[in-house]
């Protein structure tokens, strides 16, 4: 094929991708959601509490109702202070909680674990709606977790089925997006996400859900169809009970 034609085709493809990203950004509802500064402050405050787990630094992501990333932040001094892979996982968790929660039914990512196992009612869900890898790993890396993180303004996609993702609801009960956090055990992630959502103020109205207490808390009752396994680190289930985020552990 003629090299000029190939170059024009490549330019055309890149232009189309850029146009889609710009259109998504222009149509987002991020203005009504926590910005980078608010997310970072709420996440740092949540991570500083006793949450069980390894007491590691965290990544956090907020998406709007259309799954467009509004903000990405971390709690450490630098992007390498928390697991690099958890940046995309946090965004994936936010996308999942948003994608599978409704005004009258909140589902945390922790609520999905049992149902997606072989023989479960939602088996295969975790393979649907894959992450947009072009968006996930776009550079420059120095901007990761900053106000201009390359994820901001685009749809990340992805489905995650362990603790750390929660839908965001206004005080009037409207679902407006979700938050995802990652960087510790999945059980600690859930606790930190719960605290972060509470810290954000105005986004923690709880509609009915399948977790303990009838909301989107983590369920450690292994007889439940919506249970999440206990994490090997220990202590996370007791914290969940203390802060109202789910539990207790039931064999």
Tell me: the pLDDT tens digits for 155-200?
A: 999 999 999 999 999 999 999 999 999 999 999 999 999 999 999 9
| Both tokens assigned to 222 | 């292994």
- pLDDT reported for residue 26: 56
Residue 5 falls within a domain, yes or no? no
Confidence band of 24 (pLDDT split at 50, 70, 90): low
The total number of structural domains in the chain stands at 1
Residue 203 falls within a domain, yes or no? yes
Residue 163 falls within a domain, yes or no? yes
| Both tokens assigned to 248 | 């207790």
Residue 90 falls within a domain, yes or no? yes
Residue 151 falls within a domain, yes or no? yes
Confidence band of 251 (pLDDT split at 50, 70, 90): confident
Residue 236 falls within a domain, yes or no? yes
Q: Give the residue numbers spanning the domain of 50.
A: 29-243
Say whether pLDDT at 42 is over 70.
Answer: yes
Say whether pLDDT at 213 is over 70.
Answer: yes
| Per-residue model confidence as pLDDT tens digits over 57-110 | 999 999 999 999 999 999 999 999 999 999 999 999 999 999 999 999 999 999
Could you tell me if residue 166 is left (phi over 0), alpha (psi between -120 and 50 degrees) or otherwise beta?
beta
Give the whole-angstrom CA distance, residue 13 versus residue 236.
47
The secondary structure of the chain as a DSSP string is --HHHHHHHHHHHHHHHHHHHHHHHHT--GGGS--HHHHHHHHHHHHTS--STT----EEEEEETTSBEEEEEESSSSGGGS-TTHHHHHHHHHHHHHHT-BTTBB--GGGGTGGGSTTSTTTTGGGSS---HHHHT-S-GGGTTSTT-TTTTSB------SS-EEEEE-TTS-EEEEEEEESS-HHHHHHHHHHHHHHHSSSB----BSSGGGSS-B--BTTSTT--PPPSS--HHHHHHHHTSB---B-
| Per-residue model confidence as pLDDT tens digits over 25-40 | 555 799 999 999 999 9
Residue 14 falls within a domain, yes or no? no
| Per-residue model confidence as pLDDT tens digits over 122-134 | 999 999 999 999 9
* Nearest CA-CA partner of 84 in 95, 72, 96: 72
Give the whole-angstrom CA distance, residue 59 versus residue 90.
6
| Both tokens assigned to 218 | 């983590």
Residue 15 falls within a domain, yes or no? no
Say whether pLDDT at 8 is over 80.
Answer: no
- pLDDT reported for residue 138: 96
CATH number at residue 166: 3.30.450.150
C-beta separation of 230 from 250 below 8 A: no
Give the whole-angstrom CA distance, residue 212 versus residue 21.
39
Average pLDDT over the chain, rounded to whole?
91
How many Å separate Cα 135 from the centre of its chain?
16
Burial 174-195 (b: 16+ CB within 10 A, else e): ebbbbbbbbbbbbbbbbbbbbb
């Amino acid at each position: 094929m003629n090299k000029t034609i190939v170059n024009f085709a490549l330019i055309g493809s890149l232009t189309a991708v850029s146009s889609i990203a710009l259109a998504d950004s222009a149509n987002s509802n991020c203005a009504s959601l926590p910005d980078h500064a608010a997310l970072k402050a709420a996440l740092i405050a949540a991570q500083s509490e006793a949450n069980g787990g390894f007491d590691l630094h965290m990544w956090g992501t907020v998406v709007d109702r259309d799954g467009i990333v509004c903000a990405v932040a971390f709690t450490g001094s630098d992007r390498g202070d928390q697991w690099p892979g958890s940046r995309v996982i946090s965004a994936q968790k936010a996308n999942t909680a948003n994608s599978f929660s409704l005004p009258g039914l909140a589902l945390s990512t922790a609520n999905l674990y049992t149902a997606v196992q072989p023989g479960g009612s939602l088996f295969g869900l975790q393979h649907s709606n894959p992450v947009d890898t072009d968006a996930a790993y776009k550079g420059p890396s120095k901007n990761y977790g900053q106000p201009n993180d390359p994820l901001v303004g685009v749809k990340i996609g992805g489905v995650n089925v362990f603790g750390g993702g929660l839908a965001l609801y206004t005080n009037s009960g409207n679902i407006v997006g979700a938050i995802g956090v990652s960087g510790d055990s999945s059980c600690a992630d859930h606790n930190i996400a719960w605290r972060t959502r509470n810290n954000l103020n105005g986004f923690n109205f709880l509609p009915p859900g399948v977790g303990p207490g009838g909301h989107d808390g983590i369920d450690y009752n292994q007889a439940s169809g919506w249970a999440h396994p206990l994490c090997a680190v220990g202590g996370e289930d007791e914290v969940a009970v203390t802060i109202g985020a789910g539990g207790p552990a039931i064999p």
